[in-house]
Amino acid sequence: MHSIIQGIILGFIIVLPGMSGGTVFLIFGIYENMLKDLVKLNIKPYLPLFGGTIVGIFGGGMVFALFFESFRDQTAAFLMGCLIASIRTVLKCCPTINMKRLLFLLGGLLIGFYMGGEPIGLMMESEKVSWILLLIGGALSSAAMIIPGIPGSSVLIVLGIYDSILFYIKELEILNLIIFGIGSILGIILFVNLLSKVYEKHKSNISYFFAGLILGSSRALLPYYYTPSIIILFSIGFGLVWLWSGKKDYTTDKLREDGT
């Protein structure tokens, strides 16, 4: 039951752009063991956690889909605050900047701005996403989610399918969700070990590139109108992830003190 509850919490959290699943695993104290087990495909001990995560994703996705449908600008402002604040976590490992890192940041900014597209609203039924893109989105978001500080849901915004996934959850479009789920499983099986090794080897450059992606793609969450409530909700989202980033730092320091 404990693992199921943890999974539900994880599912709710990773629906938010800017919230890293890897950070949650660190806080739960299972990150290192889980990563080793996933590389060995030893997933049986984590089935209750994954089951709870699915419940949490559906619950969180339903809530945000309903809010997006009824309060588009307010929800977009809140999510945009979450997304931009996550840059603090992404760059925490390498705060100093040099010319090479600046180039990676600018490259990510341009790509994110281009891929982010126009400001999103809740997807309409006539707008279809290809199964290939759903597979790729599932694979990349799940693989990125494992790395602490890298938000998996932000990958979906960069790919322009975050609102589409919310729509599929809201409308219970099972076939599309299954395809996305298959991509997520493939991402964990095929890419987690590789991505983890590449990230450790080129951490600073990848971090600045991903920070640029986040900043550039945030235009997809721009409100159509600006009111005091929009600014307040943006600030709440920003503050939530900013505080969460501080919690991550504390947890990481604690793990180091314990020698793990």
For residue 250, the model assigns a pLDDT of 42
For residue 176, the model assigns a pLDDT of 92
How far separated are the first and last CA of the chain, in Å rounded? 26
Confidence of residue 148 (pLDDT cuts 50, 70, 90): low
Dihedral over Cα of 60, 237, 67, 217: its sign: negative
For residue 259, the model assigns a pLDDT of 43
Per the structure block, which two tokens stand in for 42?
């030893």
Q: Which long-range contacts (CB under 8 A, 24 or more apart) does 111-115 make?
A: 111/158, 111/212, 111/213, 111/216, 112/158, 112/212, 112/213, 112/214, 112/215, 112/216, 112/217, 112/218, 113/216, 113/217, 113/219, 114/216, 115/158, 115/159, 115/160, 115/216, 115/217
Tell whether the model's pLDDT for residue 219 goes beyond 70.
Answer: yes
Confidence of residue 183 (pLDDT cuts 50, 70, 90): very high
Q: Which residue has the higher pLDDT, 34 or 47?
A: 47
Tell whether the model's pLDDT for residue 180 goes beyond 90.
Answer: yes
Where in the sequence is the domain holding 242, given as residue range(s)? 2-257
Confidence of residue 23 (pLDDT cuts 50, 70, 90): low
Q: Which residue has the higher pLDDT, 138 or 251?
A: 138
The candidate with the shortest Cα–Cα distance to 61, out of 199, 156, 130, is 156
Q: Which residue has the higher pLDDT, 96 or 99?
A: 99
Q: Which residue has the higher pLDDT, 230 or 217?
A: 230
Per the structure block, which two tokens stand in for 223?
């409100």
Please list, in sequence order, all residues whose beta carbon lies within 8 angstroms of the beta carbon of residue 238, skipping any fewer than 6 positions away.
81, 82, 84, 85
Per the structure block, which two tokens stand in for 131?
């199964």
Tell whether the model's pLDDT for residue 95 goes beyond 50.
Answer: yes
Mean pLDDT of the chain: 79
Question: Domains in the chain: how many in total?
Answer: 1
Tell whether the model's pLDDT for residue 89 goes beyond 70.
Answer: yes
φ and ψ at 128, to 5 degrees? -110, 145
Per the structure block, which two tokens stand in for 234?
């943006």
SS3 string, 57-125, reads HHHHHHHHHHHHHHCHHHHHHHHHHHHHHHHHHHCCCCCCCCHHHHHHHHHHHHHHHHHHCCCCCCCCC
SS3 at position 152: helix
Per the structure block, which two tokens stand in for 8?
């539900």
For residue 120, the model assigns a pLDDT of 63
